[in-house]
């Protein structure tokens, strides 16, 4: 097949979905690989290295879309790309379909086979690890007096106490943030709804962290003495309540820091609005907010290497086995199938956008096969089924 690697065009995006190492692997499988010039430049992978790995270098995205059967990049499709999609084309990227109805409609109208990368990770996305670790460091930078913070040093100094940090959510993102902050000497509390997970984290860190059940009441009780809060919660889309209200933010000391790594509009934090690397902070209720939506883009080389390695098996399986058998072999890939030739195949998107959907195994004709299992990507359910 002809494989195309695009240069991402979202503002502030510096990553690339495949490095020269992955290009060489795809070439070894017998596929033709086309790479848009400059695709990896900002992540530290010049065009010359892609060419040396066997890629055909092309000037424009239009050439990639017009030539390739399989097209991949890191972030969502921009409106300028919608008309470039071709019927039957396989596309793989972070679509975030439930939050982007216009993008979903374009994928349906163009009758492409679309995979949303964020739902395809069996062991958690490297982007989540990157966001947690770098988000913790961005929070520490926001704490600096010169950035509007109260000026506390993370581990404290002689006679000066260190920072008290609250991490909301103990999943991949929260654990990544915890690893950095604990190593640097912060006083960390992790809040989650899974007491088994909290017990495991306490054991892992030799009882040197605090844990608590994540509830609005528990969080409100400790926020007045918390220096920094990091939101790492995967908040259910469509939930109109807040885990941290404006009043709770107001209870924190002036110059405290809030880092919203999850970065969801109508998400867990009432005072959230998205920011960019160019203008990353704002002050709300006296608290410095860091709400950049693309934290991993700040460490583009490391994130690209890790992310490309994680998605290469999916690429190879789709290209070598075909979409149907690749989805039969890997339940996490199957659950990430978002649209298939004009049919919606993503349950969360069906529920939140009130669109009818069909299960991937039904539209692919593999329901009678022995399928690799995978848990649903979210708790959202839809029985608004399409009948073939």
Distance of CA 19 to the CA centre of its chain: 19
- CB 228 within 8 Å of CB 208: no
Q: Is 124 exposed, middle or buried (0-12, 13-18, 19+ CB in 10 A)?
A: middle
- Assess whether 100 carries a catalytic annotation: no
Q: Treating both helix axes as pointing N-terminal to C-terminal, what angle do 126-142 and 300-321 enclose, rounded to 10 degrees?
A: 160
Catalytic option among 31, 96, 121, 289: 96
Give the residue from 387, 388, 386, 373 showing the smallest Cα distance to 347: 386
- Assess whether 31 carries a catalytic annotation: no
Q: Alpha helix locations (H) across the chain? A: 20-28, 47-52, 61-67, 101-110, 126-142, 172-183, 195-204, 216-222, 246-250, 300-321, 323-329, 331-336, 347-353, 360-363
Question: Can you tell me which residue has the tokens 């991490």?
Answer: 167
- CB 129 within 8 Å of CB 176: yes
- CB 292 within 8 Å of CB 276: yes
Length of the chain: 388
d(CA 244, CA 226): 13
- The H or E element that residue 287 is part of is strand 287-290
Name the token pair of 323: 């979409």
d(CA 382, CA 356): 9
Task: Count the Cβ atoms, other than its own, within 10 Å of residue 348.
Answer: 25
What three-state secondary structure class fits 125?
A: coil
- Going by their DSSP bridges, the two strands 343-344 and 164-168 should be labelled as unpaired
Give the residue from 206, 165, 198 showing the smallest Cα distance to 184: 165
Catalytic option among 31, 264, 314, 330: 264
Question: Can you tell me which residue has the tokens 């494989």?
Answer: 3
d(CA 388, CA 374): 24
**What amino acid positions are annotated as catalytic residues?**
96, 264
């Amino acid at each position: 097949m002809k494989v195309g690697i695009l240069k991402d065009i979202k503002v502030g995006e510096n990553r690339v979905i495949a490095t020269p190492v992955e290009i060489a692997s795809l070439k070894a499988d017998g596929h033709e690989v086309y790479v848009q010039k400059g695709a990896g430049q900002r992540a530290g992978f010049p065009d010359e290295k892609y060419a040396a790995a066997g890629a055909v270098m092309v000037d424009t995205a239009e050439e990639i879309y017009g030539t390739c059967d399989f097209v991949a990049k890191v972030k969502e499709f921009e409106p300028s790309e919608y008309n470039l999609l071709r019927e039957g084309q396989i596309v793989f990227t972070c679509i975030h379909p439930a939050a982007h109805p216009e993008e979903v409609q374009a994928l349906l109208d163009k009758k492409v086979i679309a995979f949303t990368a964020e739902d395809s990770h069996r062991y958690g996305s490297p982007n989540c690890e990157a966001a947690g670790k770098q988000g913790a460091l961005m929070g520490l930078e926001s704490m600096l007096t010169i950035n509007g913070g109260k000026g506390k040093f993370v581990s404290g100094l002689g006679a000066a106490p260190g920072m008290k940090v609250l991490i909301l959510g103990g999943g991949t993102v929260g654990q990544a943030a915890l690893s950095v902050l604990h190593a640097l000497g912060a006083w960390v509390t992790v809040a989650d709804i899974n007491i088994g997970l909290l017990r495991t984290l306490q054991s892992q860190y030799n009882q040197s962290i605090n844990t608590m059940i994540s509830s609005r009441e528990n969080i409100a009780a400790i926020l007045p003495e918390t220096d920094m809060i990091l939101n790492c919660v995967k908040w259910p889309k469509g939930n109109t309540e807040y885990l941290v209200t404006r009043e709770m933010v107001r209870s924190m000391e002036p110059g405290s820091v809030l880092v919203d790594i999850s970065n969801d509009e109508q998400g867990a934090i009432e005072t959230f609005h998205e920011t960019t690397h160019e203008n990353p902070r704002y002050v709300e209720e006296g608290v410095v907010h860091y709400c950049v939506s693309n934290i991993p883009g700040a460490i583009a080389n490391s994130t690209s290497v890790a992310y490309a390695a994680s998605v290469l098996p999916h690429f190879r399986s789709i290209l070598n086995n075909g979409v149907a058998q690749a989805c039969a072999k890997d339940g996490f890939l199957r659950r990430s199938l978002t649209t298939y030739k004009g049919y919606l195949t993503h349950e969360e998107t069906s529920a939140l956008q009130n669109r009818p959907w069909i299960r991937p195994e039904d539209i692919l004709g593999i329901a009678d096969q022995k399928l690799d299992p995978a848990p649903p990507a979210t708790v959202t359910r839809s029985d608004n089924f399409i009948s073939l």
